[in-house]
Structure 1
């Protein structure tokens, strides 16, 4: 998932695109709509308004933005290339972007609990020595001796392994930054304005900065459309929705698997580290206080 700051930028971009679609739908021209939005003072919107007034490449300006701006630029680029109504195209893009944001938010919430629990448990070994000192067992003096020093070193190594492995497992469980089904949305946008399948895919790939063959879902939708005579646009938009639905289900499954996988560093690293950093010095401190040889 993106960081919260990036998520805020995505929301701002989607909000601006929504307002732009409303203004264009009300009959305003592109340059006029951008000029009204530029009053808000966003630097990217101001640049887009200036370029729109000059008849330049607005999509190129939008691509320089972060997060959702790149996806909005792709929709703008495809719509202008095929002469599609910009208001309708932006509304379709905003719907897909909002749906994708909801999917990522749900996955982020699902992943947050196991990650937070793992981080909390990782702090337990660090509290071992201070806890022993509060109990009057003098573990700091014990760890200066050979056996205590060995326990301290081994505990720190295990603790470091736990600290490194937990974020790694969490990163593997996070979904990709891309929007599921976005390629299908762009192809549908181009086809809705009368473009051929080949041109629609080429425009979609160029707008996304990709150079690849249509995905299995798009190929299946187009093949079904040709065989059954069903509208390809609706089939592609249905495929895009299914892709986001699958991403939501996959994200929830990844969060559930993460809870289980985090038990591995907990059992192999964190708990042994707690024993070595807290229990062993405490026991050695008790033995030392009874004047028994260590």
Structure 2
């Protein structure tokens, strides 16, 4: 029955749209919680988790499935822990949007400067477009458009670097705890988790956390000498990793606010001069000549 149920839970959603992805991930989190509750009650859930093959979230679920099948660990616990990890990821994504919203608004405002320059020319009684659409003015307009394109691509690349910080921080330690619940020793559990992450190409997980000098190994060493429960300790490692992820995200967003000044100064400001200042000066000189 367990194998049949595992086969039902095998594909995940997300779209590329931020809001759509978050909504689908939140729905998936609820489905995981519901499936875990059904398994605890001894019921084979009739409603399987809706997944889409080859997605990032599906690959993580397949890691959980592989560990549960190999070790015989409580699959319901694995589903519940994955739901918690997705909830933390949703919070991190929400925090990232808040941190970047002010930066993006400032970028959009500054990027509109070339248009403001043209409008300013009309407000003072001149016609900058007459200059821009004739003769060498077309070259100014083309150069400004190229500069704006470079500036936009530059800024998008910077914001994408912040987005790449996204991961299921600390979930590797919970996977090790899941494997150990199935009776595997610490070394065996780490190897199993690392193999499952690699074989399923789980982008949101990092095998570096399982290295000999990683946080997981240090906690297991302490638990071995202290004789304390590894489960709670490894979950605390996951919580600490998620806290550090938020700190790293905030630091990256703060640095982005400073770095964004470079493309604005190198691309947007020259574009403003080309479309707003030079045509206005030329139109004024033409007006004086007339």
TM-score (structure 1 length as normaliser): 0.80
**Equivalent in 30, 47, 61 of residue 37 of structure 1:** 47
The number of aligned residues is 266
Judged with a 3 Å threshold, the aligned counterparts in structure 2 of structure 1 residues 254 and 84 are, in CA distance, closer, same or farther, namely same
| Distance in 2 between residues matched to 1:66 and 1:13, nearest whole Å | 13
| Distance in 2 between residues matched to 1:126 and 1:163, nearest whole Å | 15
Report 1:34-183 matches (<5 A).
Answer: 36-37=46-47, 45=50, 64=53, 66-133=55-122, 135-144=124-133, 148-183=137-172
Structure 1 gap ranges (5+): 39-43, 46-61
**Which range moves more in the overlay, 111-120 or 67-76?**
67-76
User: Cα RMSD (Å) of the superposition?
Assistant: 2.6
Judged with a 3 Å threshold, the aligned counterparts in structure 2 of structure 1 residues 275 and 289 are, in CA distance, closer, same or farther, namely same
Contact kept in structure 2, 1:133 and 1:140, CA below 8 Å: no
SS of the residue corresponding to residue 179 of structure 1 reads coil
Q: CA deviation at 1:66?
A: 3.0
Contact kept in structure 2, 1:115 and 1:166, CA below 8 Å: no
1:286 and 2:284 matched: yes
**Which range moves more in the overlay, 255-264 or 232-241?**
232-241
Q: CA deviation at 1:77?
A: 2.5
Deviations 1:66-123 (A, max 9, x none): 3433323322331232112222222222122212221222122212220232123212
TM-score (structure 2 length as normaliser): 0.81
Q: CA deviation at 1:286?
A: 0.7
1:269 and 2:267 matched: yes
Judged with a 3 Å threshold, the aligned counterparts in structure 2 of structure 1 residues 63 and 282 are, in CA distance, closer, same or farther, namely closer
Structure 2 gap ranges (5+): 1-15, 202-206
| Distance in 1 between residues matched to 2:165 and 2:258, nearest whole Å | 21
| Distance in 1 between residues matched to 2:181 and 2:271, nearest whole Å | 61
SS of the residue corresponding to residue 209 of structure 1 reads helix
Contact kept in structure 1, 2:151 and 2:268, CA below 8 Å: yes
1:236 and 2:243 matched: no
Judged with a 3 Å threshold, the aligned counterparts in structure 2 of structure 1 residues 138 and 102 are, in CA distance, closer, same or farther, namely same
SS of the residue corresponding to residue 84 of structure 1 reads coil
Deviations 1:1-35 (A, max 9, x none): 9722222221121111111111112221xxx31xx
**Equivalent in 201, 218, 221 of residue 220 of structure 1:** 218
